[in-house]
Amino acid sequence: MEIDDEILTEFYDNRYAVQGMLIYKKNALLVVREIQKILEEKLEKAGHEPVLFPVLIPEDILKKESEHIKGFETEVFWVTEAGNNKLDKKLALRPTSETPIYTMFSLWIRSHRDLPMKVHQTCAVYRYETKQTRPLIRGREFLWNEGHSAFKNSEDAEKNVEDIIKIYGDLLNELCIPYRIHRRPEWDKFPGASYTLAYDTIIDGKILQIATIHNLSEKFSEAFDIKYEDEEGNHKFVHLTCYGPSFGRLLASVLNIHKDDAGLKFPAKFAPVQIVIVPIFAKGNKEGVIDYCRKIKEKSDKFRVVLDESDKTPGEKFYYWEKRGAMLRIEAGPRDLENNEVVVVRRDTKKKEKIKIAELTDEKIAEIFKDIDKNLRESADRKFNGAIFKANTIEEAKAQIGKGIIEIGLCKDEKCKNEIETYASVLGTEEKKEKCIVCGKEGKVAYIGKTY
Amino acid sequence: MEIDDEILTEFYDNRYAVQGMLIYKKNALLVVREIQKILEEKLEKAGHEPVLFPVLIPEDILKKESEHIKGFETEVFWVTEAGNNKLDKKLALRPTSETPIYTMFSLWIRSHRDLPMKVHQTCAVYRYETKQTRPLIRGREFLWNEGHSAFKNSEDAEKNVEDIIKIYGDLLNELCIPYRIHRRPEWDKFPGASYTLAYDTIIDGKILQIATIHNLSEKFSEAFDIKYEDEEGNHKFVHLTCYGPSFGRLLASVLNIHKDDAGLKFPAKFAPVQIVIVPIFAKGNKEGVIDYCRKIKEKSDKFRVVLDESDKTPGEKFYYWEKRGAMLRIEAGPRDLENNEVVVVRRDTKKKEKIKIAELTDEKIAEIFKDIDKNLRESADRKFNGAIFKANTIEEAKAQIGKGIIEIGLCKDEKCKNEIETYASVLGTEEKKEKCIVCGKEGKVAYIGKTY
């Protein structure tokens, strides 16, 4: 089911006067901040230093690596004027930052002692999308983190790809987002990369690419002349890798993968409101109950907690906060006050539990949250695994298109690939023999699906 | 004294191919992150919601308020092309965000129940500076936080100005940056504001504006048609205020105000490295000492702590880390190991203290840091107050120009003002009578100084 517009307006506003550019609001920024915090911490622990490069890239720098610019040239926003002057040199809004960062790598890297050099930046990038834009999923301005690293040789670069796979995996695990990593086919790799690994998840049967890792080998270091002197005094090109997840798409995945008929659900760490306290006073000691609830709120201030003191009925409040994905509801009435108890209701299972107030510790809440995450993860995984199919014929494949990821056999013939790509995208291929479902000749395993 | 280039390269690189646009590096981002965290927390506690608006502003929106665009039009970067297309409508890189944000305020605000509406965003803004650029101080891309708020009436708006004065004051207090708030003269207010308050600090005798608060009254709400329905059903224009500190200039202030002959100093919270541990082993149990130091490091992991295991001499390490403003040095040698002691040396006073390892708790360190901050603040205040002068004649004023802030008398006559502005800027005026130092006629108190 679709998410209510009323709820989405708490995340973003899509009515801004530049098409495809979103206004991020409070709830989106809360989720994005958490993602950013987790990711930056992990990257820095793995030796990345934070940097922030200018948004503008001079035309000659952007065009230095020929395959790269070919891939982006139809998508670049150009600054051509400043004040009342026409600029001598056009400046691009960064569509991605390989070219400016590698310009500086060529100054920063001199010796093998400078390697590995790993940097990351969280920023917005700009692409003049010609496809239809779609909030969080396809925008002309989007938020991401991009990592860029230089290594002495291909082994170190490959090792870094493994490290990043682990880091992104940990982040996606915290977000409870199921995914598959596909090695993109040659015609769909990042412009300038020797190979591209892409993280694909499934939303409503369609494939959403949420992150990528590119091994650039020596192509960019040749274009940008990034050399180091090795232990023997030889000058060699560095091996580069780059990688990034889209924060907007991660947010879109969290919103769409975990929701149920009652509304949004979040892995607890990412819920804009984690706990809602609802005072219940049909009759009885109203002031005492409110006071009791306020104390509970104070006690739980490590979390994002709201005490709903509005004059809605408890039922209305339940409904309101379930829709918004408050993952734990604490109810307290006059009887609870007398007994030093509260009723605790989980958003995922709706299970009610009466517990003593003294037992409602931060640890207890953290424990419930951990179990909620586990439950969300398992249920998302079940759904994801149920959307993976195997097709032995074109007809079988067609029947599943738009429902998930389909494993097929595909040969090298351009005609067979084109036939498949009339109704689906090839997400990745594997070095495993399989009969081509188009022509029947020998081919390899491929994964296809309808993409966003 | 100047800060070493070697040290500055750990904060930024100024060699990027777009003039006036800086590459922020690790140490700068650490300080900026702390500033951002403190400020955002305070603003949100005071009822501001975080937002993030697109960087691009359509020409017609930027030009809606006539005074405003007049103030910025020579400084705007324009996107005129995208992909291979010429755009129908030019798009500005935001020089500031009043116009896009107030476009949305006119949609978001309907009733008195929507007020006050307070938002803030941390972002980069773009100004095609015609004056000479200077790292962190005058750039064509700079980082800031901007707050924007709408109120029912001027009293509420004024009250908010007071709240922001408190918040910015608290932040500057944490940064130990002394400042004066000047009400800018009419000819120097923010384009479109009814008045501008500016935060001025002093670096090397010259005045640096580090933050501003603008009361926009109803001017922008008329231009953007931002009305609310009051309790009686009347439609009224909201009162707007906006405000922002420059993160680059705050960083420049921290770097330049606290430094001494040995190098950088920081209020402890902002030091890129807060604690350095130096093992001392001219002779004796080297492995034991290293092990001991590692344990100390682990124990202190709430702080940004470095254990310097390089093969420099202790003296070289002291020198290296003093220059970089590591605010606490912990030394440990074989004798200390035996006695379960360490030597603790403060970066500000250089005072040495031998303490038992059991006493080196997080609380003890926090206490030392608090005292360091107090000391830095007092010493910065002393220097600042020593750079405030009073001049009764033009000659007296001229003798102090370039040395700080000078209080003078100035009349309304355009000629007198122009005379002063040939060698200094008028920072602010006060409603207090004083004889004009140019013509001798009755005037008011004014503050002048040489600005960056």
Contact by Cβ (8 Å): A252, A136: yes
Instruction: Give 3-state DSSP helix, strand, coil % of chain B, rounded to 5.
Output: 35, 30, 30
Superfamily (CATH) of domain B273-368: Anticodon-binding domain (3.40.50.800)
- Spatial CB neighbours of B37, under 8 Å, sequence gap ≥ 6: none
Is A26 in contact with B83 (Cβ distance < 8 A)? no
What is the pLDDT at residue B8? 97
Q: With both helix axes pointing from N to C terminus, report the angle between A154-174 and A26-45 in degrees, rounded to the nearest 10.
A: 140
pLDDT above 90 (res A67): no
Q: Within chain A, which residue ranges are assigned CATH 3.30.930.10?
A: 5-258
Instruction: Measure CB to CB from residue A17 to each of B23, B58, B83 and give the nearest one.
Output: B58
A292 confidence band (pLDDT: 50, 70, 90): very high
Q: Measured between alpha carbons, how far is A385 from B352 in angstroms, rounded to an integer?
A: 63
Is B23 in contact with A107 (Cβ distance < 8 A)? no
Q: Which of residues 77-96 of A touch B (CB under 8 A)?
A: 77-85, 90-91, 93
Contact by Cβ (8 Å): A93, B91: no
DSSP A128-149: ---SPPBTTTB-SEEEEEEEEE
Is B29 in contact with A51 (Cβ distance < 8 A)? yes
Q: Measured between alpha carbons, how far is A125 from A4 in angstroms, rounded to an integer?
A: 28
Q: Which CATH class is domain B5-258?
A: alpha beta
Tokens of A52: 């922030």
Is B141 in contact with A56 (Cβ distance < 8 A)? yes
Q: Which residues from A are below 8 Å from B77, CB to CB?
A: 56, 79, 81-82, 91
Contact by Cβ (8 Å): B189, B429: no
Q: Measured between alpha carbons, how far is A345 from A387 in angstroms, rounded to an integer?
A: 31
What is the pLDDT at residue A340? 96
Token look-up 């919103």 returns A255
Q: For residue range A350-366, what is the model confidence (pLDDT) as tens digits?
A: 999 999 999 999 999 99
What is the pLDDT at residue A275? 98
Please, which contacts does A290-299 make with residues 24 or more away whose CB atoms are closer than 8 Å?
Answer: A292/A332, A292/A336, A292/A337, A293/A330, A293/A332, A296/A330, A296/A332, A296/A342, A296/A357, A296/A360, A299/A360
What is the pLDDT at residue A192? 87
Q: What is the DSSP letter of A106?
A: H
Please, which contacts does A397-403 make with residues 24 or more away whose CB atoms are closer than 8 Å?
Answer: A397/A424, A397/A437, A397/A448, A398/A423, A401/A448, A401/A449, A401/A450, A402/A205, A402/A206, A402/A450, A403/A205
pLDDT above 90 (res A46): yes
What is the pLDDT at residue B283? 72
Q: Within chain B, which residue ranges are assigned CATH 3.30.110.30?
A: 390-449
Task: State the Rg of chain A over Cα.
Answer: 26
Is A103 touching B (CB cutoff 8 A)? yes
Picking from B5, B34, B55 by the largest number of A CB atoms within 10 A of its own CB, the best residue to mutate is B55
Is A21 touching B (CB cutoff 8 A)? yes
pLDDT above 80 (res A283): no
Task: Calculate ∠ Cα B425-B430-B431, nearest 5°.
Answer: 145
A270 confidence band (pLDDT: 50, 70, 90): very high
What three-state secondary structure class fits A270? helix
Q: Which residues from B are below 8 Å from A77, CB to CB?
A: 56, 79, 81-82, 91
Nearest chain B residue to A74, by CA: B83
Instruction: Give 3-state DSSP helix, strand, coil % of chain A, rounded to 5.
Output: 35, 30, 30
Q: Within chain B, which residue ranges are assigned CATH 3.40.50.800?
A: 273-368
Tokens of A384: 């994801």
Contact by Cβ (8 Å): B229, B112: yes
Instruction: Measure CB to CB from residue A76 to each of B83, B103, B124 and give the nearest one.
Output: B83
- Spatial CB neighbours of B88, under 8 Å, sequence gap ≥ 6: none
Beta strands in A352-400 (DSSP E): 352-356, 388-390
Tokens of A88: 């001598």
Q: Which of residues 126-185 of A touch B (CB under 8 A)?
A: 126, 128, 130, 141, 143
What is the pLDDT at residue A273? 97
Which CATH code of 3.40.50.80, 3.40.50.620, 3.40.50.2030, 3.30.110.30 fits the domain covering B390-449? 3.30.110.30
Q: For residue range A177-189, what is the model confidence (pLDDT) as tens digits?
A: 999 999 999 999 9
Nearest chain B residue to A9, by CA: B108
What is the pLDDT at residue B336? 93
Q: Which residues from B are below 8 Å from A95, CB to CB?
A: none
What three-state secondary structure class fits A350? coil
Tokens of A86: 């026409």
Contact by Cβ (8 Å): B330, B365: no
Please, which contacts does B193-199 make with residues 24 or more away whose CB atoms are closer than 8 Å?
Answer: B193/B217, B193/B219, B194/B219, B197/B161, B197/B165, B198/B427, B198/B428, B199/B168, B199/B172, B199/B245
What is the pLDDT at residue B386? 98
Could you read off the pLDDT tens digit of each residue along chain B, which spans 452 residues?
689 999 999 999 999 999 999 999 999 999 999 999 999 999 999 999 999 999 999 999 999 988 888 889 899 999 999 999 999 999 999 999 999 999 999 999 999 999 999 999 999 999 999 889 999 999 999 999 999 999 999 999 999 999 999 999 999 999 999 999 999 999 999 988 999 999 999 999 999 999 999 999 999 999 999 999 999 999 999 999 999 999 999 999 999 999 999 999 999 999 999 999 999 987 767 899 999 999 999 999 999 999 999 999 999 999 999 999 999 999 999 999 999 999 999 999 999 999 999 999 999 999 999 999 999 999 999 999 999 999 999 999 999 999 999 999 999 999 999 999 999 999 999 999 999 999 999 999 999 999 99
Its pTM stands at 0.96
Look at A234-243, A364-373, B60-69 and tell me which has the smallest mean pLDDT. B60-69
pLDDT above 80 (res A282): no
Q: Which residues from B are below 8 Å from A53, CB to CB?
A: 16, 23
Q: Measured between alpha carbons, how far is B118 from A123 in angstroms, rounded to an integer?
A: 24
CA–chain centroid gap for A411, Å, is 32
What three-state secondary structure class fits B411? coil
Main-chain dihedrals φ then ψ at residue B266, nearest 5 degrees: -135, 145
Q: Measured between alpha carbons, how far is B9 from B23 in angstroms, rounded to an integer?
A: 10
Q: Which residues from A are below 8 Å from B61, CB to CB?
A: 17
DSSP B338-349: HHTEEEEEETTT
A2 confidence band (pLDDT: 50, 70, 90): confident
Question: In chain A, pLDDT over 90 holds for what percent of residues?
Answer: 95
| Chain B nearest C-alpha distance from A22 (Å) | 6
Amino acid present at B43: L
Tokens of A267: 């892995």
Main-chain dihedrals φ then ψ at residue B97, nearest 5 degrees: -115, 20
Nearest to A82, CA basis, from A56, A52, A54, A53: A56
Task: Calculate ∠ Cα B319-B322-B328, nearest 5°.
Answer: 125
DSSP B125-148: EE----SPPBTTTB-SEEEEEEEE
Tokens of A37: 């915090």
Is A36 touching B (CB cutoff 8 A)? no
What three-state secondary structure class fits B9? coil
Amino acid present at B239: H
Region A216-233: mean pLDDT is 96
Is A54 in contact with B93 (Cβ distance < 8 A)? no
DSSP A273-338: S-EEEEE--SSS-HHHHHHHHHHHHHHTTTS-EEE--SSS-HHHHHHHHHHTT--EEEEE-HHHHH
Mean pLDDT (chain A) is 96
A386 confidence band (pLDDT: 50, 70, 90): very high
Region A366-395: mean pLDDT is 98
Is A141 in contact with B54 (Cβ distance < 8 A)? yes
Is A74 in contact with B53 (Cβ distance < 8 A)? no
Q: Measured between alpha carbons, how far is B109 from B226 in angstroms, rounded to an integer?
A: 7
Q: For residue range A151-206, what is the model confidence (pLDDT) as tens digits?
A: 999 999 999 999 999 999 999 999 999 999 999 999 999 988 999 999 999 999 99
What is the pLDDT at residue A130? 85
Q: Which residues from B are below 8 Å from A148, CB to CB?
A: none
Which is it for strands B12-13 and B49-50: parallel, antiparallel or unpaired? Answer: unpaired
Q: Measured between alpha carbons, how far is A209 from A198 in angstroms, rounded to an integer?
A: 7
| Chain B nearest C-alpha distance from A357 (Å) | 27
Picking from A19, A31, A55, A143 by the largest number of B CB atoms within 10 A of its own CB, the best residue to mutate is A55
